[in-house]
Amino acid sequence: MMDGQYSRRDLCARMGLGGLAAMATGSITTGAAGAASDSGDGKGGAQRLSLEQLQQWEALAYGMFIHFGMSTYVLDELPDGKAPAATYAPDRLDVDQWVSVARDSGMKYIVLTTKHVAGHCLWPSKHCDYTVANSTNKTDAVEKFVKSCEKHGVLPGFYYCSWDNHNRFGSRTPSDLRGAGKPAPEDQTRGRPYTTSLYHDFQTAQITELLTQYGPIAEVWIDIPSVLGRGYRTYLYQTIASLQPRTVIMMNSGIGTQEQYPVDQAWPADIISIERRLPPEKGHEKWREIEGKRYYMPGEVCDPIGKHWFWMPDDPPRPDDELRDQFLTCRKRGVNLLLDVPPDQHGVIPDMHVQALARLSKHV
């Protein structure tokens, strides 16, 4: 639980982000007359959040993605979910260091993987046993993360993966189609991954925990939403919006430039993910027509600082000029950059990453 020492409004005011503070506290009303003409229809678009709210999120520009969890210890991004909970064992966990590094690098928000493909939870969820509560290090990393964000003036976001190889409830995951760790194409001959109604209940319960126990959250990042189906995905979106009305909701639409948005896999959402790619040279198309209505949907590029999302041995940062060009191209083409910087098995961001970010910060 948040200790109430700081309010999100105070935090954002100190950061010069009063509009985003209002996004978190609910004081901005839907609709932004000053920017309505951008839509070409005089209405400001059909999206849930106002143009002003979404443009405040865009103004953040640069954030840190943190992939950390069971995959860090089994050295597999897409594990089978069978490793004992005690395998997760950071011996020098320093969440405050993560957030300090992000702040010092010019990043304005951070998205933390609360649960990834392994199904292990970085908070002591009441809805399963595969959590930090039964791990070698029992720290509620989610609570530490949010409090540290408050302390350092950075906005917190939560990532949650719908592909879960441990908490299955009868679901078929992408791992089943080719073996654990190897995602398969969703073809008709081998069947599609799917999630059951029991799993839906589980995901709803966990999302509810995350969004009611830790205070205002700036962004909710749902990965592999295609396995949820349109009906439950819509229900989940509405649930998140009801619990955190001013949060920005991402349903990851996958690897690609997203010139064509996959409505059948990722709708509804507030923003568009551009994973491991850049927008086209003409820039990200923010206005999208979906099922007969126009929506303002900003873009967010996400990419690791090295080759892998999670920490791996011998995975150094990409060259400085490559990181610089990626950042500057994102700014030029009108999208945010969410740069993944994974902590190691000790639970700290390695110095080689810290130094690469310091050099990159000269261009921020």
| 191 — pLDDT class (breaks 50, 70, 90) | confident
Name the residue with tokens 């990200």.
Answer: 284
Summarize pLDDT for 63-121 with one digit per residue, the tens: 999 999 999 999 999 999 999 999 999 999 999 999 999 999 999 999 999 999 999 99
What pLDDT is attached to residue 184? 52
The encoded tokens of residue 274 equal 């551009």
Q: What is the largest CA-CA distance in the chain?
A: 56
Rg, the chain, Cα only: 19
- The third-level CATH classification (topology) of the domain covering 54-363 is TIM Barrel (3.20.20)
Residue length, the chain? 364
> What are the domain boundaries of the chain?
54-363
pLDDT of 5 over the 70 cut:
no
Percentage of residues in the chain having pLDDT higher than 70: 85
pLDDT of 363 over the 70 cut:
yes
Measured in whole angstroms, how far is the alpha carbon of residue 239 from the centre of its chain? 17
What pLDDT is attached to residue 185? 54
Task: Report how far residue 317's alpha carbon sits from residue 351's, in angstroms, rounded to the nearest whole number.
Answer: 11
What pLDDT is attached to residue 307? 98
Name the residue with tokens 């961001």.
Answer: 349
Summarize pLDDT for 293-344 with one digit per residue, the tens: 999 999 999 999 999 999 999 999 999 999 999 999 999 999 999 999 999 9
pLDDT of 349 over the 50 cut:
yes
To the nearest 10°, report the CA torsion of 237, 240, 244, 245: 20
- Which of residues 343 and 26 earns the better pLDDT score? 343
DSSP run (H or E) holding 15 = helix 8-15
